[in-house]
């Protein structure tokens, strides 16, 4: 069982989503706070980011926002975050979130969230980190991405072992166990990066 004290969560900032997404994001925040797991996120105060943060704070948990300066200048940061780390660039933001976390969770999102997920998986494929990655597949949101990865394996762009880089769950209630019990990943696996 892997020890998880801090987890990074990638998720959307849209305020125009189905209620199911907000409900699960709040529930995830509640559960992580109740388990004593610190949450690192993009420091947004709206959308799934806001719902996640509210869920953490409602249960007395700690939520750390990581946000680039230009977003602070636009007032996109969440003043309710327990702590905020301001970076110079988006690249530094992603690196910081990975560095200070013991695992990563992806919720539904748009281009930014998907890009964060794929960069995280790329780093794992190359052995730059060995941390668990969980996809919270609310209403089947990640089905298309999972199918794409299966097709990458079938076409030999990835090896079958690369499907073990992440775990898929359907509800917030499954996330913590999935993080703790994710398949171990060995940094030497980078030898498998070449097909």
DSSP classification of residue 132: -
pLDDT at 114: 96
Give the whole-angstrom CA distance, residue 116 versus residue 108. 12
In the chain, the percentage of residues whose pLDDT exceeds 70 is 97
Residue 29, H or E segment: helix 19-34
Mean pLDDT of 105-121: 96
Question: pLDDT per residue over 33-76, tens digit each?
Answer: 999 999 999 999 999 999 999 999 999 999 999 999 999 999 99
Q: CA quadruple 177, 183, 189, 195: dihedral positive or negative?
A: negative
- From the list 64, 62, 71, 58, the residue with the least C-alpha distance to 30 is 58
Residue 23 has pLDDT above 60, yes or no: yes
Helix (H, G, I), strand (E, B) or coil at 167: strand
Domains in the chain and their CATH numbers?
A: 6-181 (3.40.50.450)
Strand-pair partners of 68: 87
pLDDT at 140: 97
pLDDT at 195: 54
Mean pLDDT of 137-157: 96
pLDDT at 164: 92
Q: Indicate whether this model's pTM tops 0.75.
A: yes
């Amino acid at each position: 069982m892997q020890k998880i004290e801090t987890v990074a969560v990638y998720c959307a900032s849209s305020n125009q989503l189905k209620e199911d997404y907000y409900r699960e994001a709040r529930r995830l925040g509640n559960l992580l706070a109740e388990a004593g797991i610190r949450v690192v996120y993009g420091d947004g105060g709206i959308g799934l980011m806001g719902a996640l943060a509210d869920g953490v704070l409602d249960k007395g948990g700690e939520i750390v926002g990581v946000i680039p300066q230009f977003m602070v200048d636009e007032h996109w940061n969440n003043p309710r975050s327990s702590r905020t780390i301001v970076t110079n660039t988006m690249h530094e933001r992603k690196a910081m979130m990975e560095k200070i976390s013991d695992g990563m969770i992806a919720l539904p999102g748009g281009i930014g969230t998907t890009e964060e997920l794929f960069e995280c998986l790329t780093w794992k494929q190359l052995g730059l980190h060995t941390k668990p990655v969980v996809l919270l597949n609310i209403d089947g949101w990640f089905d298309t991405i999972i199918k794409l990865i299966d097709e990458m394996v079938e076409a030999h762009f990835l090896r079958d072992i690369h499907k073990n880089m992440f775990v898929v769950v359907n509800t917030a209630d499954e996330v913590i166990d999935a993080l703790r019990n994710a398949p171990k990943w060995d940094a030497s696996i980078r030898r498998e990066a070449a097909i």
